[in-house]
Amino acid sequence: MLRSSLTSATRRGLSAAAAEPPTKKVAVTGAAGAIGYAMLMRIASGQMFGPHVPVELQLLETEQGLKPLKGVAMEIKDGAFPLVRGITQTADPNTGFGDADVAVLVGARPRGPGMERADLMNANAAIFAVQGKAINDAAKKDVRVLVVGNPANTNALVAAANAPDIDPAQFMAMTRLDQNRAMGQVAIKTGTPVRDVERVVIWGNHSSTQYPDLSNALVNGKPALDVINDTKWVREEFIPRVQKRGAEIIGARGASSATSAASAAIDHIHDLYVGSGDAWQSLAIRSDGSYGMDKDIWYSVPCRCPGDGVYERVLDIPSPDEYSAAMMDATRKELLEERDAVKHLLPAATRKQAGTKPARKKRAKKATA
C-alpha cells in the first residue's frame, strides 16, 4: 500500500496554494437585454476577471424584465460554470448593487419614435441618478462602475454626482467599443491582424462627435498613418465610419450592437483588473483638466491599465495638430451641452462646479481609479 510522504506543513502549503481568490460580486443592469445576455455568459466563464476568480452575479432588471431574466438565470445555471458562486435576480437597485465590487450599467431607455435627443437624455439621466444613489448606499466604497447605457458619458456624470461617498474617478463610461471598431477598420485597411494594431485613441464622447485618432497609433510597430498613407481615407472614410458605426449596424441588422458591446465591456473590466501592460486603452473618465479639457465632464482619453482596478492617463504624448485639436474640441462642446441639459438632476454642489470656466492647465500627473 502506498503511503503519503507529505508532511503536515507541506499539506498546509498545498492547501493555501489551492485556496481560490475572493469572489467578485458583479452587478449588471438591463441583465435580460441583448447586451446583458451576451455579457453574462462570458463573465460566468471567467473572461472578465480571469479563469480562477469566482463571481457572484447580481442581475438587475425592471419589474417587466424579471420574467425574461428568470430564463437568463436558468441558462447560466444550465451552463454549469465552475466559477459562479451565486445568482441574484431583482428589480430593487439596493439589492442589485449590494456589496458590489463592479457594476456594469447597461440598461437604458431606447429612443422611441418622434423622441427628441434631449427628451431621451433626460429620461435616461433620471434613471442613472437613481442608480447612482443606490450604488452610493449599497455597493462597496471601492466599487468600479462602467456605464454602457447611452448617452454613456453624461449618464456616468449623473450617476457619479449622485454617489457623493464614492470617488468619481471610479465611474467610467465605455468607449472601448469605439476603440475596438477603430482597430478593426485599421486592421482591414492595412491587411494586418488586429493584435498588431496599437495605440488607437478615442477622444471625447461616445457619440457621432467622438474623435477616433490615429496620430499615435502603430501597425506592426510602425506609425499607422505612414502605413496607411492615405489622409483622405482617414478623414473621409475611417473617422465617419467609426463615429457612425452603431447606426450602420442598426441599418444592417435592424437592432443595435449587442455582442460587440458586451465584448467591449468585458475587455474594459478585464484590462482594468487583470492589467494590459503598456497598451493604451480608451476610457471615458472624469476630466481633471488634462489635455486642456474642462474639468468634471466624462471625456474619453488614452489610459494604461496596470491592474487591480487602476488606470493611469497617458500624458507623455505630443500636443495635437490643428485638425486633431478641432476634432477634440467639437466633442468637448457636445459634452458640455449634454451636461447643461441634465443640470437639474445634479446635486447643488455639482451644478455649481459645472458652471466653471474651462480649465486650461498643464497636463496633470497620473490618476488612478
Residues belonging to the chain: 369
181 is in an annotated binding site: yes
Start-to-end CA distance of the chain, whole Å, equals 57
Cα gap 351→345, rounded to integer Å? 9
Topology (CATH) of 24-173: Rossmann fold (3.40.50)
What does the pLDDT look like over 92-124, one tens digit per residue?
Answer: 999 999 999 999 999 988 766 666 677 788 888
Check 206, 268, 270, 344 and give the catalytic one. 206
pLDDT at position 20 is 85
Q: What is the pLDDT of residue 354?
A: 52
| pTM of the shown model | 0.90
Q: Would you state the cell numbers that stand for residue 138, as one nine-digit string?
A: 449599497
Predicted local confidence at residue 115, as pLDDT:
64
Check whether 32 is labelled as a binding-site residue: yes
d(CA 147, CA 284): 9
Which stretches of the chain drop beneath a pLDDT of 70? 1-18, 111-116, 348-369
150 a known binding residue? Answer: yes
pLDDT value for 18: 63
253 carries a ligand binding annotation = no
CATH of 176-345, one of 2.60.40.3670, 3.90.110.10, 1.10.8.60, 3.90.550.10: 3.90.110.10
Check if 206 is active-site: yes
| Whether 175 contacts 282, CB under 8 Å | yes
Predicted local confidence at residue 287, as pLDDT = 98
The reported pLDDT for the residue numbered 113 is 62
Rounding to the nearest 10 degrees, give the CA dihedral for residues 103, 276, 218, 243: 0
Pairwise CA distance, residues 41 & 63, whole Å: 22
* Domain residue extents for the chain: 24-173, 176-345
pLDDT tens per residue, range 44-82:
999 999 999 999 999 999 999 999 999 999 999 999 999
| pLDDT confidence of residue 108 | 87
In 3D space, the residue among 209, 141, 148, 182 whose CA is nearest the CA of residue 302 turns out to be 182
Q: Is 111 marked within a binding site? A: yes
